[in-house]
Amino acid sequence: MITFRVDSSSEEELLYSVSVDSDGRASCDCEGFGRGRFCRHIDAVLVSGEWAMVPENYRAAAAKAMELARGKITSPTNWKATWRKDWAWRGLSATREPINPRRSGKPLVCFTGTLPGKKRADWLAEAKNAGWDTTDEPSPFTDVLVAKDPNAASAKLKKARDNRTVIVSADEWADVMLDGVLPDV
Ligand SMILES: [Zn+2]
């Protein structure tokens, strides 16, 4: 059994405990440990591979738990991942430091798949205008990956989750682009 802690998204300084057993089953104490109960803490870290909400001293344990739970947890069919809109909890605030500061000092966004509404060149140009570097190939340096379906199981998304890149939908990107990962000035 591996246990790590996750910040509460609503209350400061409150931490929940998430445990993964040797079979890869997860439980969380946010509403009392309940068998088979699903919550945003399990979803964000163990299913979506995000880590901003895990305090630094628990990240090693969280990485092991992710490994143990990989492919073994799926969100319930009626589940609404409302936490995706919680920018601060996901570390997407204006003061977030880029995952891996590169020479340009700008955050890096990667676009994947066919995104609705605009041509790829327009998505790229718009991002550049808003102060981002852009790429088509996800890497450990990528801060944000924009995908048609952030929950899809494609190889690019899997790689991005392994790299702990924040994955957002095209709709979400509109906000993140303007109010998201920007370097401290
Ligand atoms: Zn929870």
Measured over all CA atoms, what is the biggest interatomic distance in the chain, rounded to whole angstroms?
A: 48
How many Cα neighbours within 13 Å face the side chain of 65?
A: 33
Question: Is residue 97, in this structure, part of any structural domain at all?
Answer: no
CA of 73 to the centre of ligand 1 (A): 14
For ligand 1, the distance from its centroid to the CA atom of residue 87, given in whole angstroms, is 18
CA distance 109 to 152: 18
State the Cα–Cα distance between residues 14 and 87, nearest whole angstrom: 18
Spacing, Cα 32 to ligand 1 middle (Å): 8
The rounded radius of gyration (Å) of the Cα atoms in the chain is 16
Question: What's the pLDDT tens digit per position in 20-65?
Answer: 999 999 999 997 666 678 999 999 999 988 988 999 999 999 999 9
Final residue before a domain boundary, out of 72, 98, 133: 72
Cα(39) to ligand 1 centroid in Å equals: 5
67 and 115 fall within a common domain: no
Cα-to-centroid distance, 1 and ligand 1 (Å): 17
- For residues 132-161, average pLDDT: 86
pLDDT at 99 exceeding the cut of 90: no
Q: Which two tokens stand for residue 68?
A: 């143990």
CB atoms within 10 A of CB 27: 21
Distance between Cα 118 and ligand 1 center (Å) = 37
Distance from the first to the final alpha carbon of the chain: 42
With pLDDT > 90 as the criterion, what percentage of the chain qualifies? 37
111 alpha carbon – ligand 1 mean position (Å): 30
- Looking at 47, 72, 97, which one is the last position of a domain? 72
Domain membership flag for residue 41: yes
pLDDT one-digit tens code per residue, 59-98: 999 999 999 998 899 888 889 888 988 888 888 765 555 5
pTM of the full structure:
0.66
- The reply to whether 87 falls in a domain is no
pLDDT at 66: 92
Q: How many domains does the chain have?
A: 2
Q: What is the CATH number of the domain that holds 146?
A: 3.40.50.10190
Instruction: Fill in the amino acid letter for 121.
Output: A
Nearest to 113, CA basis, from 151, 163, 148, 161? 148
* Residue range 151-162, pLDDT digits in tens: 888 888 888 888
- What percent of the chain clears pLDDT 70, i.e. is strictly above it? 89
Q: How far is the CA of 26 from the centre of ligand 1 (A)?
A: 10
Which residues are paired to 7 by β-bridges? 15
- Tell me, yes or no, whether 115 and 68 share the same domain: no
What is the Cα–Cα distance from 54 to 174, expressed in whole angstroms? Answer: 25
Say whether both 116 and 174 belong to one domain: yes
- Spacing, Cα 97 to ligand 1 middle (Å): 26
Taking Cα atoms as reference points, which of 41, 38, 45 lies closest to residue 59?
45
Q: What is the CA(79)–ligand 1 centre distance, in A?
A: 14
Domain termination residue (choose one: 25, 56, 72): 72
Domain boundaries, position 137: 108-179
